[in-house]
Chain A
Amino acid sequence: AQRVTQPEKLLSVFKGAPVELKCNYSYSGSPELFWYVQYSRQRLQLLLRHISRESIKGFTADLNKGETSFHLKKPFAQEEDSAMYYCALLYAGNMLTFGGGTRLMVKP
């Protein structure tokens, strides 16, 4: 069965510090992974997808099939990065399963 695990419910860092939000997945097929972000009182937004290998708002994420991970990283956190982050696995064309989410708090 497919599963996404985000081990940290809460991650608190100071402004300017590096950030890594962990995501591990379990899936027998070829994974399609995403990071979604939900800022306070805003809708769930797509942040990154692994297939595009791009950097959005300074965030990057690399798919590591050997470790079945898709960790989200940013070298220097900003206060406006404070939000809820969900890692998600897309399978069977249009089935999306989410990890439990990590709340990132960036302190001034």
Chain B
Amino acid sequence: DTEVTQTPKHLVMGMTNKKSLKCEQHMGHRAMYWYKQKAKKPPELMFVYSYEKLSINESVPSRFSPECPNSSLLNLHLHALQPEDSALYLCASSADEGTGNQPQHFGDGTRLSIL
């Protein structure tokens, strides 16, 4: 399996809802990432997990809460989002950085709309 799988593909939620985005990879990668991509813009890094520990948080608001239950799974918990949070959320993974800088492999993304 050489893919990063994200669910759901689409999500519409109200500002008071709580929902979660899920990401899964079975490539044995030990680094996983969340990115936010607005329309016609490049992806912007949100969080980095390395060996299941949060290593980088790019000053993301606390209404986004990442979780890495195991080496294959990455979640993004959402609560009290704002309309400006509507975007495509991408998950990516890469091999152990200790073996040299490794390319990141991306999922299809979850298109999130906040009402």
Contact = CB atoms under 8 A, between A and B. Distances in A.
A and B: real partners? yes
A43 B106 contact: yes
Nearest to B56: A95
Contacts of B41: 100-101
A56 interface: no
Interface string A75-103: 00000000000100010011111111100
B50 A44 contact: no
A1 B42 CA distance: 18
Which interface residue of A46, A90, A94 has the most chain B CB atoms within 10 A? Answer: A94
A17 to B, nearest CB: 25
Contacts of A51: 101
Interface string A25-66: 000000010101000001111100101000000000000000
A94 B107 contact: no
B103 A34 contact: yes
Interface of A is mostly: strand
B109 A98 contact: no
Nearest to B49: A94
A93 B97 contact: yes
A45 B42 CA distance: 13
A3 B91 CA distance: 22
B42 A86 contact: yes
A45 B97 contact: no
B106 A45 contact: yes
B51 to A, nearest CB: 11
A33 B69 CA distance: 31
Contact of A96 (B55, B104, B109): B104
Contacts of B107: 43
B89 to A, nearest CB: 13
Contacts of B103: 34, 46, 49, 90
A32 B109 CA distance: 25
Interface of A: 32, 34, 36, 42-46, 49, 51, 86, 90, 93-101
The 3 closest A-B pairs by CB, nearest first: A98-B42, A93-B97, A44-B106
